[in-house]
Structure 1
Amino acid sequence: MLDEPRSGRLAAWGNALIAGLAAPDDVAGEVTGGDTVHRVCGLPGETGPVGLTLGLGRLRALGVTGLRIALPVPGHPLGLSGPPEFNARALAAGEAVIAVGGPPVGLVPEVTEAGPRGDVHVEVQWHCLEVRQGPPADVPSLGEAERELAEALRETTEALMKLDVAGSGPTAHAALDAYRARAERGHEVLAPGYPPRAVRVLALAQRVGALVAIATGEHGAAVSASEIAARAELLRPVERTARRAQVAAYNAYVEEAERRGD
């Protein structure tokens, strides 16, 4: 969770495009990021894959008013509402985007990498599939997510101290230094149209996720498989909280629009 999930970028900037708050070319650039190209296949009314800009425009023309995300893992179908076929594809990818309004469809990314190390070309194909309309699983409100994250950050800091990650070697020091530098620099998250609280919650979720990633990495104080497993078990609830908060933040645009009755 050191970086934004592709589903998060697609939902955030797709929402900005749907709302008319961002230009199509800017949206395509933000969603693609460092990838080579993104395409959308299986869209209603299209016979083959289309470019990202055309795909988002097609969804808007079909009546889609917003985009939500899901970040499921085994045993925790976070943000999903079915059917089983879509859930299985989303779980395999670890993420998905669900359209709000318009036809009941969702998008699951398939990532393909090619090329030598240092010059890897990444292509992403978003598969458009039918979804079941219904409330997404286990997504908290922004307020609830913010409260949970504050407690999770304290728990993660305590866990790091208990596991002596900072004192476990040069690799851990490098990871912690990189995290601190990233936190100090700050970075733009989400897209135009999101409430400030969502931006705050996402930034905090990314901080917690970064700390969990460092604590559960192989560079920590644990040297045995049992100690690594114990560390992962200790931090699993914290990682779950951070994922839930990420979903709440990315979905805040749709929740705010529904609250206003847009």
Structure 2
Amino acid sequence: MWEEPRVGRLAAWGNALLAGLVSPDDAVTGAVGDDAAHRVVGVPGEPGPVGLTLALGRLRALGAVGLRIALPAPGHPLGLSGPPEFNEAALVAGEAVVVVGAALGLVPEVSQVGPPGDVLTEVVWRVREVRQGPPADVPSLGEAERELGQALRDATEALTLLDVAGSGPVADAALAAYRARMERGRQVLAPGYPPRAARVLELADRVAALVGIAEVSEPVGAVSAAEIAHRDALLRPVERAARRARVASYNAYAEELERQRAD
């Protein structure tokens, strides 16, 4: 199901803070989003959990110049560069942030607290050592945009053939939730990102939402296990393209930094 990655919010607003484009308060507000609280554990020099403001300040002092994200899945270590311990933790979480310039990474642990009807989301980011190196399988923005365009066409054709173009109460609820999020006028990325990154991210979110809705849709007529497997096989490369494009979009700031440092 479509969901804005927490690592994306942290990387985007953390990059804006490192660039001096937003205040620490604005950066933390953007990174936390609708969650109740974020804490960071394992920050070098800090014996216990600290808030995001202090954590980002410490990372800057340790040499951080930018933040990248990783969105790995089984068999696809997208955005990761090792070591195995960090990759395994990121795979379990499904996401991670990699610090450019400090050989560190952050992996979120998400928990729900509170009684039914008043549940709050809390996030603990655990800092771990990472291997500095090229992230796995991250395309350029141009490559991601072209790949997404083809993926969107493929997804539309596949869903039409399978009669799963967003039907059923679960799919309807998912589509309504996605539209409500879009109508709230959420800010895509954060100050400092190129317009193309925002455009690619919006397209990636739309494709990811389409895939998520298709996965919970109710096909017309009887559906066999083979037909369900066929649907999943058609959607898998589309979902992969959306994840690659998301990573390329959120990492555009750090990639530009790398190009400037190499010149």
- TM-score, structure 1 length as denominator? 0.93
How many angstroms apart in 2 are the aligned matches of 1:107 and 1:7? 9
Q: Which residue of 1 aligns with 2:20?
A: 20
How many angstroms apart in 1 are the aligned matches of 2:112 and 2:178? 26
The alpha carbon displacement at 1:173 in A equals: 4.3
Q: Which residue of 2 aligns with 1:51?
A: 51
How many angstroms apart in 1 are the aligned matches of 2:105 and 2:203? 27
Matches within 5 A, 1:146-185: 146-166=145-165, 168-176=167-175, 179=178
Q: Which amino acid aligns with 1:107?
A: L
How many angstroms apart in 1 are the aligned matches of 2:130 and 2:69? 13
Quick one: structure 1 residues 232 and 45, their matched pair in 2 at CA, closer, same or farther if it must change by over 3 Å?
A: same
Q: Which amino acid aligns with 2:124?
A: Q
How many angstroms apart in 1 are the aligned matches of 2:192 and 2:70? 20
Q: Which amino acid aligns with 2:202?
A: A
Quick one: structure 1 residues 43 and 179, their matched pair in 2 at CA, closer, same or farther if it must change by over 3 Å?
A: closer
Q: Which residue of 2 aligns with 1:110?
A: 109
Any gaps of 5 or more consecutive residues in structure 1? none
| Aligned CA-pair RMSD | 2.0
Q: Say yes or no: does 1:214 pair with 2:213.
A: yes
Q: Which residue of 1 aligns with 2:8?
A: 8
What SS does structure 1 have at the residue aligned with 2:89?
A: helix
Contact 2:81–2:131 (8 Å) recurs in 1? yes
Quick one: structure 1 residues 53 and 156, their matched pair in 2 at CA, closer, same or farther if it must change by over 3 Å?
A: same
* Matched length: 261
Q: Which residue of 1 aligns with 2:31?
A: 31
What SS does structure 2 have at the residue aligned with 1:261?
A: helix
Any gaps of 5 or more consecutive residues in structure 2? none
Contact 1:109–1:124 (8 Å) recurs in 2? yes
Contact 2:164–2:217 (8 Å) recurs in 1? no
What SS does structure 1 have at the residue aligned with 2:154?
A: helix
- TM-score, structure 2 length as denominator? 0.92
Contact 1:109–1:125 (8 Å) recurs in 2? yes
